[in-house]
C-alpha cells in the first residue's frame, strides 16, 4: 500500500475534476472564440469557470487571467511589474526563501542592472515585518513575497508588507506567490493589499498545466504574448478549456470543504509530530510551520536523499524539499542557517484532505527502521 506524504509537490486529481475535464473535451469541446453555437457554449462555460475560481479568491472574474502554472504567473507578474514601473527606479525587494519561480527572474533582472534586496528569514522561517520596512526605498519598484513558504509552511507577512509600501510612499507594486496558500489558509487578494497574486491548479487536486494570475483592477500588465486577443488580450491563444474546467471544479469543491479539510490536515500534522516525538526523539521540527499541510523535520546524522530513497522503497513518498530543486540542496533550509547535520537530514512532509493516521504510522515505523539499518553520516 502506498503512503503519499508529498502534497506540497503535487496532488492527485479529484475524480470530479477529472470528470469536468472529460466533459469539456467530449461534450463542450467548441473553441470559445468561434461565432457559432458550440463556440458560444464553450465561451459561456469558460466565463462560468472563471467566475467559480474568482469566487474562491473573492475577486472579480475580470481580475483573473489563466496561465499554465504558478511559475508562469510569477514570471509574468515580476517582469510585467518592472515594465510598468521602469521609469520609477531599479530596486526590487524579495525574500531569500521564495520559490525558484521568483528567485530566478530576480537573478535575470540583476543581470539587467536591477538591484535586488533579498530579505533573510529569522530562525523560525518567517520574515520580520520590520525587515521589509527597512528595505523599502523611494526607488523600490517591486516587492515579491510568497504567502506560505512551500518548504517550511511559514506564513509570511504579506498584508503588513502592503501597509509598509503604502506608508513608505514609494511606487512599489506588490506580487504574491500564493500557490501553497490557496485553499490552505483563508485570504483574499484585496484584503492582503496585493497587486498581483499567483495560484496553481495542481496543488489543489486539479491537473498540471493550469493556473491563474490575479491582476488588480486598474493595472494593465504588458501582454505576455501577441495573438488573437484571448484573456483580455494579455495572454492570447486558444484557452485550454478542459484544464480550466477541472481547475474550476477542484477550486469549487476545495473552497466548499476548506474549513473541514484544513482542520483535518492540522490534526494529521499534530498527530505526526506527537508520534515522531514519542518514537523518534532524535527528530527535529524545523521552523514555525504555521500552515496546516506542511511539516519539515530532520533526522540529524542521516542524509535526506538516502532517507527519501529508503522510504520510497517501502511505498512511502516524501521529499527533501521543493520538487523543483530536482535533488539540489534547498536554498530555503540553507537560509535558516541550520546546523549542518540538521540541514543534511531534512525531510518535508505535506498532507492532503485524504491523508490518514495509517500513513503517519507507516512513516514512523519506516523511519525507526532507517535508524536501525542506515549508517549515520560522519559529516
Among candidate residues 234, 256, 278, the one where a domain is terminated: 256
pLDDT of residue 224: 86
DSSP 8-state secondary structure symbol assigned to residue 370: H
Known catalytic residues are 324
In this structure, the answer to whether residues 340 and 268 fall within a common structural domain is yes
pLDDT of residue 325: 52
In this structure, the answer to whether residues 35 and 145 fall within a common structural domain is yes
Task: Indicate whether 38 belongs to any domain.
Answer: yes
In this structure, the answer to whether residues 247 and 272 fall within a common structural domain is no
In this structure, the answer to whether residues 72 and 219 fall within a common structural domain is yes
In this structure, the answer to whether residues 128 and 139 fall within a common structural domain is yes
Over residues 98-130, the pLDDT tens digits come to: 999 999 999 999 999 999 999 999 988 999 999
Among candidate residues 200, 223, 256, the one where a domain is terminated: 256
Q: What is the CATH number of the domain that holds 290?
A: 3.90.1150.10
Asked if residue 77 lies in contact with residue 198, where contact means CB atoms within 8 angstroms, the answer is yes
In this structure, the answer to whether residues 164 and 49 fall within a common structural domain is yes
Phi and psi at residue 44, to the nearest 5°: -65, -40
Total tally of structural domains belonging to the chain: 2
338/234 Cα distance (integer angstroms): 43
The gap from C-alpha 378 to its chain's centroid, in whole angstroms, comes to 35
DSSP helix/strand/coil, 281: coil
Residues in the chain with pLDDT values less than 50: 323, 378-379
Q: What is the CATH number of the domain that holds 126?
A: 3.40.640.10
DSSP helix/strand/coil, 313: coil
Residue 336's domain spans which residues? 3-11+258-373
Over residues 299-354, the pLDDT tens digits come to: 999 999 999 999 999 999 999 865 455 556 789 988 999 999 999 999 999 999 99
Among candidate residues 256, 271, 304, the one where a domain is terminated: 256
In this structure, the answer to whether residues 246 and 276 fall within a common structural domain is no
In this structure, the answer to whether residues 45 and 86 fall within a common structural domain is yes
39/18 Cα distance (integer angstroms): 22
In this structure, the answer to whether residues 80 and 180 fall within a common structural domain is yes
Task: Indicate whether 379 belongs to any domain.
Answer: no
179/296 Cα distance (integer angstroms): 18
The gap from C-alpha 278 to its chain's centroid, in whole angstroms, comes to 31
Task: Indicate whether 199 belongs to any domain.
Answer: yes
Over residues 140-150, the pLDDT tens digits come to: 999 999 999 99
In this structure, the answer to whether residues 341 and 193 fall within a common structural domain is no
In this structure, the answer to whether residues 274 and 227 fall within a common structural domain is no
In this structure, the answer to whether residues 71 and 186 fall within a common structural domain is yes
Phi and psi at residue 264, to the nearest 5°: -65, -45
CB count within 10 Å of CB 53 equals 26
Amino acid at each position: 500500500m502506498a503512503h503519499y506524504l508529498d502534497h506540497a509537490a503535487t496532488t492527485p486529481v479529484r475524480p470530479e475534476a477529472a470528470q469536468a475535464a472529460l466533459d469539456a473535451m467530449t461534450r463542450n469541446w467548441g473553441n470559445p472564440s468561434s461565432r457559432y453555437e458550440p463556440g458560444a457554449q464553450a465561451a459561456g462555460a469558460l466565463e462560468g469557470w472563471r467566475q467559480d475560481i474568482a469566487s474562491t479568491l473573492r475577486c472579480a472574474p475580470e481580475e483573473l487571467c489563466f496561465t499554465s502554472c504558478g511559475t508562469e504567473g510569477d514570471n509574468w507578474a515580476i517582469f510585467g511589474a518592472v515594465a510598468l514601473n521602469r521609469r520609477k527606479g531599479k530596486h526590487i525587494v524579495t525574500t531569500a526563501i521564495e520559490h525558484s519561480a521568483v528567485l530566478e527572474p530576480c537573478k535575470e533582472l540583476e543581470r539587467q542592472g536591477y538591484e535586488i534586496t533579498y530579505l533573510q528569514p529569522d530562525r523560525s522561517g518567517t520574515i520580520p515585518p520590520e525587515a521589509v520596512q527597512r528595505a523599502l526605498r523611494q526607488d523600490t519598484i517591486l516587492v515579491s513575497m510568497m504567502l506560505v513558504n512551500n518548504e517550511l509552511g511559514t506564513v509570511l507577512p504579506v498584508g503588513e508588507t502592503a501597509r509598509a509600501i503604502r506608508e513608505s510612499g514609494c511606487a512599489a507594486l506588490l506580487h504574491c506567490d500564493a500557490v501553497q496558500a490557496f485553499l490552505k489558509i483563508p485570504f483574499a487578494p484585496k484584503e492582503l493589499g496585493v497587486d498581483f497574486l499567483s495560484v496553481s491548479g495542481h496543488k489543489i487536486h486539479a491537473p498540471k498545466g493550469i493556473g491563474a494570475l490575479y491582476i488588480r483592477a486598474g493595472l494593465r500588465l504588458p501582454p505576455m504574448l501577441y495573438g488573437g486577443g484571448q484573456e483580455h488580450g494579455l495572454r492570447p491563444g486558444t484557452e485550454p478549456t478542459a484544464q480550466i474546467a477541472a481547475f474550476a471544479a477542484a477550486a469549487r469543491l476545495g473552497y466548499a470543504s476548506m474549513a473541514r479539510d484544513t482542520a483535518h490536515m492540522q490534526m494529521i500534522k499534530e498527530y505526526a509530530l506527537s508520534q515522531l516525538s514519542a518514537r523518534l526523539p532524535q527528530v527535529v521540527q524545523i521552523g514555525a510551520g504555521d500552515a496546516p499541510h506542511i511539516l519539515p523535520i530532520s533526522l540529524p546524522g542521516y542524509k535526506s536523499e538516502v532517507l527519501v530513497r529508503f522510504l520510497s522503497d517501502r511505498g512511502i513518498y516524501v521529499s527533501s524539499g521543493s520538487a523543483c530543486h530536482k535533488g539540489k540542496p534547498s536554498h530555503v533550509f540553507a537560509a535558516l542557517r541550520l546546523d549542518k547535520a540538521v540541514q543534511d537530514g531534512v525531510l518535508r512532509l505535506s498532507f492532503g484532505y485524504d491523508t490518514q493516521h495509517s500513513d503517519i504510522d507507516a512513516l514512523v515505523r519506516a523511519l525507526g527502521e532507517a535508524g536501525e539499518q542506515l549508517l549515520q553520516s560522519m559529516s
